[in-house]
Amino acid sequence: MGEAVEFFHCNGFSKVNQIIIEENGCDDSWFEEEIDVDLKWSFALNKVLHKGTSEYQDIALLDTKRFGKVLVIDGKMQSAEVDEFIYHECLIHPALLCHPNPKSVFIMGGGEGSAAREALRHKSINKVVMCDIDKEVVDFCKKHLTANHEAFCNTKLDLVINDAKAELEEREEKFDIIVGDLADPVEGGPCYQLYTKSFYEKILKPKLNNNGIFVTQAGPGGVFSHKEVFSSIYNTLVQVFKYVLAYTAHVPSFADTWGWVMASDQPFCIEAGKIDKKIAERIDGELLYLNGASFVSSTILNKTVAKTLKNESHVYTEDDARFIHGQGVAYRR
């Protein structure tokens, strides 16, 4: 969702490309994200809980006035406490509900623990592997994001610190569901190769069981932003799987409509009544956002986005990647 992380104070002071806090006697500090060269998104802070640079990315955990605790990676909003349920319910539940009887889940990324939390709500699940490359992100999310403490302590969770690509290659087991809860592809970021055709085709797909489903977050899906990576990720998966389904939802803290793509070699059943029945039977507790009707409606894309996806020709490769606006640590080095 952007490149620069800035804090503006009552004296107008700001500094680009790093996180700063200026003690100047005023109460107003703001987080600012550069969504594009001519577009910024900002909101007021209570305080900064953590900031630093790991081996792989810039990291910040912010306590905001509007959105609660917010995780920011490489200057880009990743998750906000008050509305992360929208993103994570849309990421996790459609794939698990479309599978006839999911037992195992592999999550690529997901360091904050919310994707694992939602997967573990399914009564049929015996094992969730969460593989994140950045131990520092995982450690401070375990410490600060209290909503996910129970998930991190669940005996069904296998938490692995590793590159997800390497981890999938090394494991002999297969999974019913594989989830891409990765940071958005930015130039110099740690994970753009996990959006490529070669990765999907040669590494990921062979690790799916029969009836297996892959789902990934796919970046901004708005009228003006969907061509950045959403349409390319969709078209790339069309080259690898028989059935590919794109869907979107508005996430307030992202200041945009967001996109996900689900793929399988088995057809999807997305009848609203059947989905509601499965939600009632399979999931512990009540979902806050997703039901059968809302999921079905999320798959009906507006004319502009639907036309782009239909006509998209770009295939995501290591040598011909698309990135959203922003830069990762490796680029800046």
Question: Hey, which residues are catalytic here?
Answer: 181
* Token pair in block for residue 132: 């994140």
Query: Which position has the token pair 């930015």?
Result: 186
Q: Is 314 exposed, middle or buried (0-12, 13-18, 19+ CB in 10 A)?
A: middle
Residue by residue, DSSP assigns 198-265 as HIIIIIIGGGEEEEEEEEEEEEE-STTTTTTTHHHHHHHHHTT-SEEEEEEEEEGGGTEEEEEEEEES
Picking from 75, 112, 62, the residue whose alpha carbon sits closest to that of residue 217 is: 112
Q: CA-CA distances (angstroms) from residue 98 to 67, 212, 242, 278? A: 31, 10, 15, 9
Report how far apart, in Å, the C-alpha atoms of 300 and of each of 174, 197, 235, 242, 297 are: 31, 25, 17, 19, 5
- Residue 159 to residue 177: CA distance in whole angstroms: 16
From first CA to last CA, the distance across the chain in angstroms is 21
User: Tokens 């005023």 belong to which residue?
Assistant: 26
Specify whether the CB–CB gap between 113 and 35 falls below 8 A: no
Residues facing residue 263 across a β-bridge: 214, 244
Report the DSSP beta bridge partners of residue 122: 283
> What is the torsional sign of CA 105, 2, 74, 228?
positive
329's CB contacts (< 8 A; 6+ apart) are 53, 56, 57, 58, 74, 188, 189
Rounded to 10 deg, the angle between the 272-282 and 84-98 helix axes is: 100
